[in-house]
Amino acid sequence: MQTLIDAIKRFVSLTDEDIDVIEQLFVKKELKENERLLTEGEVCKEFVFVEKGLLRHCVNNDGKEVTFFFSAENEFVCDFESFIHRTPSKKTFYALEDTVVYTISYNNMQLFYKKVSTGERFGRLYLEMTFAKAINHIVTTFTATAEQRYLNFLSDFRHIQQRIPQYYIASFIGVTPQSLSRIRREMCKV
């Protein structure tokens, strides 16, 4: 729980009373490798903090799973479109390894915003950061070469790249595993 508190403190200050509320609202959950945290078609019912482990975010594109993000320790995870609007998710989140998370339900998140003195500020700052990252990812996907997308991956996910299978990295940067191997070989020559 302390890692969750510290992660929230990266955005806002917390009083002892705030920490007590947070400890009451978040619930610890353990996922086994390959277990789903969220499945396409379900409503996202939880805002999640990853204490330990690694999650893969993917969507179904004409029957093929496409990886679009990864989340590891000390990161928050949520399908906000589904969570906020209470609609079926278009995303699936898988545990790539045994993973420990803290979750908060939609209703308890509303209590968090109300009862934690800086709760609404946390929500705004977190969503601003998430929005900026999403826009950057979209623009990069459409404007960068495959080689540059791979370099961006290496930079953005340096701390977890060795934990991710190559075929998921290939999917993330939008190339086949064979193309990723070629890119890596060419980079080694330089």
Average pLDDT, rounded, for the chain? 95
Percent of the chain with pLDDT over 70: 99
3-class DSSP assignment, residue 14: coil
Residue 114 maps to a domain: yes
Q: Which amino acid does the sequence have at 126?
A: Y
Residue with tokens 């993917």: 58
Q: What pTM did the predictor assign?
A: 0.92
Of the pLDDT bands very low, low, confident and very high (cuts 50, 70, 90), residue 67 is very high
Mean pLDDT across the stretch 138-143? 91
- pLDDT value at 190 more than 70: no
Residue 134 covered by a domain: no
Which of 102, 129, 156 represents a domain boundary (last residue)? 129
Paired residues of 38 in beta bridges:
93
pLDDT band per the 50, 70, 90 thresholds, residue 188? confident
Give the closest residue to 141 by CA, choosing from 68, 58, 62: 68
Residue 69: C-alpha distances to residues 92, 109, 156, 172 (Å): 11, 23, 11, 7
pLDDT tier, 187 (very low <50, low <70, confident <90, very high otherwise) = confident
Residues 12 and 99 in one domain: yes
Asked if residue 83 and residue 114 are part of one domain, the reply reads: yes
Let me know whether 167 and 118 are in one domain: no
Share of the chain above pLDDT 90, in %: 92
Q: What's the domain count of the chain?
A: 2
pLDDT digits (tens, 9 = 90+) for 76-113: 999 999 999 999 999 999 999 999 999 999 999 999 99
Q: Is 50 in the same domain as 96?
A: yes
Q: How large is the average pLDDT for residues 1-25?
A: 97
Contact 31, 99 (CB under 8 A): yes
Range of the domain at 89: 2-129
Instruction: Please tell me the predicted confidence (pLDDT) of residue 71.
Output: 96
pLDDT of residue 150: 95
> What is the rounded CA–CA span in Å between residue 59 and residue 47?
18
Condensed to tens digits (0 to 9), the pLDDT of residues 159-184 reads: 999 999 999 999 999 999 999 999 99
One domain for residues 167 and 121: no
**Mean pLDDT, to the nearest integer, of 9-28?**
98
